[in-house]
Amino acid sequence: MRLIFLGPPGSGKGTQAKIIASKIGANHISTGDILREAVAAGTDLGKKAKKYMNAGELVPDEILLGLVREVLSNDRTADSFILDGFPRTIPQAEGLDKIFENLSIKLDWSIKLDVPDDAIIDRLTARYFCVNCKADYNLKTKPPKKEGICDICGGKLIRRDDDKREVIENRLSVYHKQTEPIESYYRERGLLKEIPADKGFDEVTEEIVKAIS
Ligand code: AP5
């Protein structure tokens, strides 16, 4: 199955993409994770992306299209995947269609996770992750047993650089201006499923499973 997960920052794309990918045996491709790893490793890609990410802006389309083209060119990945956080602009959606055409692959669904802005700000200002194993925590919904310490590996819990309140607000504004228009792109092609995602983790998973079954 080939899926795209759309939705505002903090709507649960990463959380749900991991769960669904493991249920259906698909590759989870998160452009945000790939970029964060490149920033941490100090690669050329990371150096180019860092300033955009820290400001809550989008990294330029040509960089993202090159990256996704390379990842999908691997036969095994192209077989079954969930794209999490890509595409995010109309040029990225159009470029992705060309990549699919060149690789002779077909998209099954775009899944849009719907969460209101105020709930997103609540979620993201409470998010932490483990510096070692990258496990996700949330002080409101998924707190660690011991404050500041990862339950799984004992690593220190830290925050993402772009989870500062002013950066979250800019990410939301960028989302509404640049990313929301791609919903119509997929709706017009009969490929959009909208999921109310301001609900418990398991309920959202169930709704997605129902939508793609
Ligand atoms: P990216 O990493 O993709 O960030 P994002 O879209 O802003 O999304 P997040 O990872 O913050 O949230 P999410 O929707 O995955 O939610 P999550 O599951 O983590 O991108 C980061 C940056 O990289 C961008 O700003 C941009 O600069 C760049 N970039 C990436 N892709 C790009 C592209 N295609 N083009 C250009 N630039 C690009 O959940 C969030 C929190 O909520 C967690 O704490 C979680 O535990 C909690 N939570 C999740 N579900 C629930 C629930 N149902 N109930 C309660 N809490 C929940």
Q: What is the pLDDT of residues 90-109, one digit of tens each?
A: 999 999 999 999 999 999 99
pTM, two decimals, is 0.95
Pocket of ligand 1 contains residue 31 by CB under 6 Å: yes
Q: Identify whether 69 is a catalytic site residue.
A: no
Residue in 35, 61, 140, 179 to alter for ligand 1 test, most ligand atoms within 8 A of Cβ: 35
pLDDT band for position 201 (50/70/90)?
Answer: very high
- Give the model's pLDDT for residue 78: 85
Identify the structural domains of the chain with CATH numbers, from first to last.
Answer: 2-115+175-212 (3.40.50.300)
Q: Which two tokens stand for residue 152?
A: 């799984």
Q: 195: which 2 tokens? A: 């999921």
- According to the model, what pLDDT value does residue 13 have? 97
The mean predicted confidence, pLDDT, of the chain is 96
Ligand 1 within 6 A of CB of 2: no
Cβ–ligand 1 distance for 45 under 6 Å, the answer no
